[in-house]
Chain A
């Protein structure tokens, strides 16, 4: 077992450590509450490991520099919050279409607009999926604890590299600013680093966007002898713009396909006390933290309640939720917004069981008592109590 150290750490700082452990070597970003500690931490930590940090002139340039550094072969990331995440959307589209690996951390705050900068919310759930224009596919993951900020940041980096896709780490102010016990390895040297697939063919045979059965093309670092063209225009396997409708369809099919073909590798959910449950909570990120206690309280009262906690938010855990709907008699979705994730839950449940929403959007996370009351109300409605 590698040597470890136990610390009290903030979620945002654990993201920094996770990024360093994953081998991130570039960060470009702009200060914004409640994510600023990530920029501050990266400014300190990156040069220690030979990496580079830039405080850019704006949010857009933050992701722009990340995309540029990624083209140069570095693992690269940025972090922001709602207003900055809105500004980054066009660059996210470029990263999707040109398939440039990058990680964008969004520590959510209350919106829209300036909203409530220091209060928790999960109002960006749909924006992470549909933020940039046009059909596109990204991976979104959401941590619920400080230790998970460390591990999931590494996973976000790995997924971005493996699938050549922007990965959004969807956090909330609760998890970002909360301090918790965390046990970290003293050295990150033994932590495996996931490398993007690089071409092995001779440069003259290299087709920048020709994919094998994995649907993920090999990516050459700029300056490595493989000269290729990056474009936000729809392109064919050569990477050069192609105006034909068939090119659009083939491109969209592959960009979707490279994610959906690997859904089992990408989608992670945590199941908490679901084995005998007749009623399930679905919650993620900071909102899920309340549910653990509420479930234990409900069980103390003899109610068989459990939770499915999606760790991967997008692509949606459709099969997992669908199976859950077959094994329980009711589902309560809890999210810190007016009801976004619940839309996809209902679509996956397809009426197999009632789906209730406990939407909270008043700057505060729910208490376990609040949630227990919601559980009991919903179970009564469903005739389970």
Chain B
């Protein structure tokens, strides 16, 4: 990311960050910051709420209203904040384990309510902070410290899950596709409703080493070669799609009332009833 944006948005004295060499989290956080800058949002009007895990440490680095909360439960805290301050832009940073396992219930219900939060899922397919255990987004057939004989569990498509639950904006990019990721986060923040952006990223240390793909750049090259833009993806046969994944804006709808707006109507109704 640009030096001027580091100067403008990162808290002084907190870099270097704690992420491992080649970890994509820094790139994803850079995309969030760039998106916020592109939208010309006032720093005072932005909150970044995170749960627990490697990616959740992102909130500590940036100069917004930030909170590093409890595992899996950034969304409820962000929801309460958004209810108190509907004028604020509330962004949630979460990892694949944080948001699809321990926080899965909160994910589907935040999506169902269509509350105006922007969830960025740092998906590195592993529990990194605890040293490489498989998550619901680890593909089958990979090694994890808790799957020494390879993973056998199918993985979630977290965007399909969120869309089915009611998310009105779903998008995916990777830490390789930086401009795309930035633009999708930007659109997600601007979208009035629940938006989820999956950022596919690499964990060279705790996913890569176990699975013999430890070079960070090679993980990014893999993202480059396997992420397919939606327009192309839509025309591909099931055979062509094998092993690939769609990127870009995957779904958007604007016909569902945003939750805090809907609640404003409740207040009007209650106060009308009182009078």
Leading 5 A-B pairs by shortest Cβ distance:
A68-B80, A72-B84, A64-B76, A65-B80, A47-B270
B residues neighboring A (CB under 8 Å):
11, 14, 43-45, 47, 49, 52, 59-60, 63-70, 73, 75-85, 87-88, 105-106, 108-109, 263, 266-267, 269-271, 273-274
> A32-78: which have CB < 8 Å to B?
44, 47-48, 50, 52, 54, 56-58, 60-62, 64-74, 76
A206 located at the interface, meaning its Cβ lies under 8 Å from any Cβ of chain B in the complex: no
On whether the beta carbons of A68 and B60 are closer than 8 Å, the reply is no
Contact of B68 among A69, A225, A229 (CB under 8 A): A229
Q: Which residue of A lies closest to B80 (CB)?
A: A68
Q: A227-B63, A228-B65, A229-B66 are in contact. Are A68 and B76 (CB under 8 A)?
A: yes
Main secondary structure of the interface of A (DSSP, over half): mixed
Contact of B69 among A26, A94, A221 (CB under 8 A): A94
On whether the beta carbons of B85 and A72 are closer than 8 Å, the reply is yes
On whether the beta carbons of A222 and B80 are closer than 8 Å, the reply is no
Residues 89-120 of chain A: 1 if any B CB is under 8 Å from the residue's CB, otherwise 0?
01101100010000000000000000000000
Total number of A residues with any Cβ neighbor in B under 8 Å:
46
On whether the beta carbons of B267 and A47 are closer than 8 Å, the reply is yes
On whether the beta carbons of B68 and A91 are closer than 8 Å, the reply is no
A131 located at the interface, meaning its Cβ lies under 8 Å from any Cβ of chain B in the complex: no
A241 located at the interface, meaning its Cβ lies under 8 Å from any Cβ of chain B in the complex: yes
Cα distance, A68 to B52, chains bound together (Å): 16
Main secondary structure of the interface of B (DSSP, over half): helix
Stretch of A230-238, A294-302, A324-332 with 4 or more beta carbons under 8 angstroms from chain B: A230-238
A residues neighboring B (CB under 8 Å):
25-26, 28, 44, 47-48, 50, 52, 54, 56-58, 60-62, 64-74, 76, 90-91, 93-94, 98, 221-225, 227-233, 240-241
Cα distance, A60 to B82, chains bound together (Å): 17
Q: A52-B263, A232-B68 are in contact. Are A65 and B76 (CB under 8 A)?
A: yes
Cα distance, A383 to B69, chains bound together (Å): 57
Q: A74-B84, A227-B64, A231-B68 are in contact. Are A61 and B274 (CB under 8 A)?
A: no
Cα distance, A238 to B147, chains bound together (Å): 40
B19 nearest CB across to chain A (Å): 15
B98 nearest CB across to chain A (Å): 13
On whether the beta carbons of A67 and B60 are closer than 8 Å, the reply is no
On whether the beta carbons of B81 and A72 are closer than 8 Å, the reply is yes
Cα distance, A8 to B216, chains bound together (Å): 69
Q: A227-B65, A229-B66, A230-B69 are in contact. Are A60 and B81 (CB under 8 A)?
A: no
On whether the beta carbons of A223 and B45 are closer than 8 Å, the reply is yes
B175 nearest CB across to chain A (Å): 24
On whether the beta carbons of A65 and B43 are closer than 8 Å, the reply is no
On whether the beta carbons of A64 and B79 are closer than 8 Å, the reply is yes
